[in-house]
Amino acid sequence: TTDYGIEKSLENLGISQQNNGVSSGGSYFASGDMLESYSPTDGKLIAEIKTASAEDYTKVIETAKAAYKEFRMIPSPKRGELVRQFGLKLREYKDDLGKLVSYEMGKSLQEGLGEVQEMIDICDFAVGLSRQLHGYTMHSERPGHRMYEQYHPLGIVGIISAFNFPVAVWSWNTALSWICGNVTVWKPSEKTPLCAIACQNIISEVLRENNLLEGISSMIVGDHKIGEQLVNDKNIALVSFTGSTRVGRIVGKNVAERFGKSILELGGNNAIIITENADLDMSVIGAVFGAVGTAGQRCTSTRRLIIHESVYDEVKNRLVKAYGQLKIGNPLDENNHVGPLIDKDAVAQYLNSIEKCKKEGGTFAVEGGLLEGEDYSSGCYVKPCIAEVENSYEIVQHETFAPILYLIKYKTLDEAIALQNDVPQGLSSAIMTQNLREAELFLSQAGSDCGIANVNIGTSGAEIGGAFGGEKETGGGRESGSDVWKYYMRRQTNTINYTTSLPLAQGIKFDL
Ligand code: UN1
């Protein structure tokens, strides 16, 4: 059996058999319980990680606080230089890190490398942005006065990320945080701790080479208790949370309780509407990649296809054919399209959802199930499946993080848009059509209610240049591109009087 060079990549990334899971800058320590990271690709133990205790957390925050005081005084374009060098380092480590993402998380090597590419891209974006943290100037109503606004850093930004994008989501948050003058504390998913340690090693190298303070970038591997400590900590000005709607609801409430800021990236239930005017070749490719890419474990994965009745059978038949050609297996083998789910819990949830769907009346055009045999010995490989359902089924209203695609039939576009919007989540959406009227209606205020709405591309694979996030139970947060940096800073309005008198606003006279 080949190990796809994974041992070498682990070595290059500075991962050993036993690792400490807490780091402020370059120094590592930890005094909590032991965590084991198994690969869902082959079921093998990759390495062990000592996790953080409550005291370790406190130590990290003290270091971060001290670092912030100095870091905020460095001019933003100079902080951009740190991010530029980080982007260069990521280019050096791209192959190793992409491979580790694939091995520890289970997404295809192509997608692992794509994730590292997103990290590089957000670095480039942030470097340019570091000279463009613009505010407005306003005309004062008083003579001899000037008004303007400026943006200041927030302090410590806490990042809680999910297993499905174990490296990219952290980088979206750090690249913006750093140019904005914040320091960051990262609590990665317990399911992908080694990806986090690898990233921390890479940024530590850059910090060291620039003689920058430890504590600009910290990382804490730990369980939900460490997560709660971070969420409830007044020292954390902004909590950027990616994960389930269930946990996000608690995070949002607790951060708001202490008047902290939060960015919530929660569940999606993304649909593609395929109209009678769609290019069906494109529609099928977009739908299949959206549904089975990352084994259906992206927030933006395509969960529902809302198909016009006149093309429904045709689309269904083509999908069945396409699913018949999917190669499922070790994601490090580039011949395979689909890798494993993250762990056996995820498999159980997938099987459970299929059962629920059948109970509610769903019929399967492509059957699901667990794959068995030598190639699938980790017990995490499942068959991507397709069910014909009603949108109102409870299971269809729910996000299952697995490759289950639901087909729904419609008659009018208004009905299709209503179906697309009639779920609790609001992340990503798409329409396949060559008809301008259909496309524009879908994009109008009477159309999709999601944070992302696409025409003639699928629901997943958003570029970093746009604002990423969604409405309703997706949490309302935005990350990555556009003017999202403003979430990472505090706005201050300044009025300056350069006369010798003190006129009041609103024409108020106050003579002594
Ligand atoms: C996520 O699934 O958490 O749109 C993020 C995409 C990626 C980001 C997904 N750029 O598929």
301 Cβ closer than 6 Å to some ligand 1 atom: no
298 Cβ closer than 6 Å to some ligand 1 atom: yes
Active site residue 265: yes
| Residue 71 near residue 213 (C-beta atoms within 8 A) | yes
165 Cβ closer than 6 Å to some ligand 1 atom: yes
Q: Which residues of the chain have pLDDT under 70?
A: 1-2, 25
191 Cβ closer than 6 Å to some ligand 1 atom: no
Residue with tokens 């990219």: 168
Nearest one of 103, 82, 118 to 10, comparing CA atoms: 103
Please tell me the predicted confidence (pLDDT) of residue 511.
83
Atom of ligand 1 nearest to the CA of 242: 3
Coarse DSSP helix, strand, coil percentages of the chain, rounded to the nearest 5 percent: 40, 20, 40
Both tokens of 5, joined, read 């060079």
d(CA 82, CA 211): 11
Atom of ligand 1 nearest to the CA of 464: 10
Atom of ligand 1 nearest to the CA of 265: 3
164 Cβ closer than 6 Å to some ligand 1 atom: yes
Q: Which of 265, 300, 401, 425 to mutate to test the pocket of ligand 1 (most atoms within 8 A of CB)?
A: 300
Please tell me the predicted confidence (pLDDT) of residue 27.
87
| Residue 467 near residue 478 (C-beta atoms within 8 A) | yes
For atom 7 of ligand 1, the residue with the nearest CA is 461
What does DSSP say about strands 183-187 and 217-220: parallel, antiparallel, or unpaired?
A: parallel
- How far away, in angstroms, is 479 Cα from ligand 1 center? 11
318 Cβ closer than 6 Å to some ligand 1 atom: no
Residue with tokens 């300056």: 496
Q: Which of 164, 297, 298, 454 to mutate to test the pocket of ligand 1 (most atoms within 8 A of CB)?
A: 298
67 Cβ closer than 6 Å to some ligand 1 atom: no
d(CA 100, CA 85): 21
What residues have CB less than 8 Å from 385, skipping those under 6 apart?
A: 323, 354, 364, 366, 367, 368, 369, 403, 404, 405
What does DSSP say about strands 34-38 and 45-50: parallel, antiparallel, or unpaired?
A: antiparallel
289 Cβ closer than 6 Å to some ligand 1 atom: no
What residues have CB less than 8 Å from 505, skipping those under 6 apart?
A: 141, 142
For 226-237, what is each residue's pLDDT tens digit? 999 999 999 999
- How far away, in angstroms, is 147 Cα from ligand 1 center? 40
For 101-149, what is each residue's pLDDT tens digit? 999 999 999 999 999 999 999 999 999 999 999 999 999 999 999 999 9
- How far away, in angstroms, is 244 Cα from ligand 1 center? 14
461 Cβ closer than 6 Å to some ligand 1 atom: yes
- How far away, in angstroms, is 18 Cα from ligand 1 center? 30
Please tell me the predicted confidence (pLDDT) of residue 495.
97
What is the H or E stretch that residue 219 is in? strand 217-220
Q: Active-site residue among 118, 265, 399, 473?
A: 265
Nearest one of 301, 297, 281 to 289, comparing CA atoms: 301
> Strand ranges (DSSP E) for 18-109?
18-20, 22-24, 27-29, 34-38, 45-50
- How far away, in angstroms, is 435 Cα from ligand 1 center? 28
One-letter amino acid for residue 139 of the chain: H
Please tell me the predicted confidence (pLDDT) of residue 507.
87
For residue 162, report the phi and psi dihedrals to the nearest 5 degrees. -105, 170
3-state SS assignment for residue 434: coil
Atom of ligand 1 nearest to the CA of 463: 10
d(CA 133, CA 412): 45
d(CA 407, CA 396): 10
pTM, to two decimals: 0.97
- How far away, in angstroms, is 429 Cα from ligand 1 center? 13
d(CA 330, CA 381): 9
- How far away, in angstroms, is 331 Cα from ligand 1 center? 18
- ipTM given for this complex: 0.93
Please tell me the predicted confidence (pLDDT) of residue 2.
64
